[in-house]
Amino acid sequence: MLIKTKAIVLTSLKYGDADLIVKCLTEEGVKSYLLRSIFRTKSKKLKTGYFQPLSQLDITAVHNNKGNLNKITEVRVSYLYQTLATDIYKQSIALFLAEVLSYALKEEEQNTVQFQYIENSLKWLDHHHAFANFHLLFLLQLTKFLGFYPDVTYMDALFFDLEEGCFCASKPTRHFLSNQKLILFKSLIGIKFDHMEGLKWNSENRQVVLDILLEYYELHLPGFKKPRSLKVLKEVFNEIS
């Protein structure tokens, strides 16, 4: 079936000498494509440069819907990043989030609202200069679409149960937050991207919250693993006070 859709690149992997396998979040869900001979062709329609992590594209593709690799016949940039491709801090965020999304999003799932959230969030990151907490809020908000956003019914409680995803008065036996970690986690809930500057966090605070969020993902998403780019992200953001 021939489909025209927006796509956000998650991963690209060279296959053999000349082919490329690309995994994208599309408006139809997560799809994987085999781009044959792309490293040899001089075609203007398909170039490897289009398929960088989190590139936003308009594609024409053949979706076979049989679990096999799909085919892209035409591609163009739908949104050209102004700073995301050149700012080292934003690049490190992009690589990290692309990995997280590739682990967290499932092939068969179609969610238009989720696609729009990711698309618009990346545009926000591209446009703004105060973004040190962006990846943290992005991950928390993404849990709304993944089905495990924190239950805030008893937000004044002394503990947060990471396994159950809720605040509670009694201390859980394992995987819970309390004291300073709980305060940091709670301060992220309800914040919007435009108000992130109100979080007066240093690099240590950010790393604590990031570790909390990744543990939360691991507990709720079978097969989820910490991205390989995590180390680079932490090293880069150590430079931001």
Mean pLDDT per 10-residue interval, the chain, length 241 residues: 94 91 95 89 75 96 83 95 93 96 85 96 96 96 97 97 98 97 96 90 94 98 92 81 54
Q: What is the pTM of this model?
A: 0.93
For the chain, domain boundaries: 2-79, 88-237
The Cα–Cα gap between 57 and 50 comes to 8
Q: Which residue has the tokens 């790393």?
A: 207
The Cα–Cα gap between 141 and 188 comes to 10
Q: Which amino acid is at 188?
A: L
Q: 33 pairs with which residues across the strands?
A: 22, 70
Q: Which residue has the tokens 């914040």?
A: 191
Domain 88-237 bears CATH identifier 3.40.920.10: no
Residue-level pLDDT at 67 = 67
User: Are the CB atoms for 73 and 61 separated by under 8 Å?
Assistant: yes
Secondary structure in 3-state letters for the chain? CEEEEEEEEEEEEEECCCEEEEEEEECCEEEEEEECCCCCCCCCCCCHHHHCCCCEEEEEEECCCCCCCEEEEEEEEEECCCCCCCCHHHHHHHHHHHHHHHHHCCCCCCCHHHHHHHHHHHHHHHHCCCCCCHHHHHHHHHHHHHCCCCECCCCCCCEEECCCCEEECCCCCCCEECHHHHHHHHHHCCCCHHHHHHCCCCHHHHHHHHHHHHHHHHHHCCCCCCCCCHHHHHHHHCCCC
* CATH value of 2-79 in 2.40.50.140, 2.60.40.1730, 3.40.50.300, 2.60.40.10: 2.40.50.140
The Cα–Cα gap between 192 and 138 comes to 10
Nearest C-alpha neighbor of 56 from the set 80, 74, 35: 80
Q: Which residue has the tokens 């849990």?
A: 143
Residue-level pLDDT at 5 = 96
The Cα–Cα gap between 194 and 178 comes to 27
Residue-level pLDDT at 44 = 59
The Cα–Cα gap between 71 and 27 comes to 16
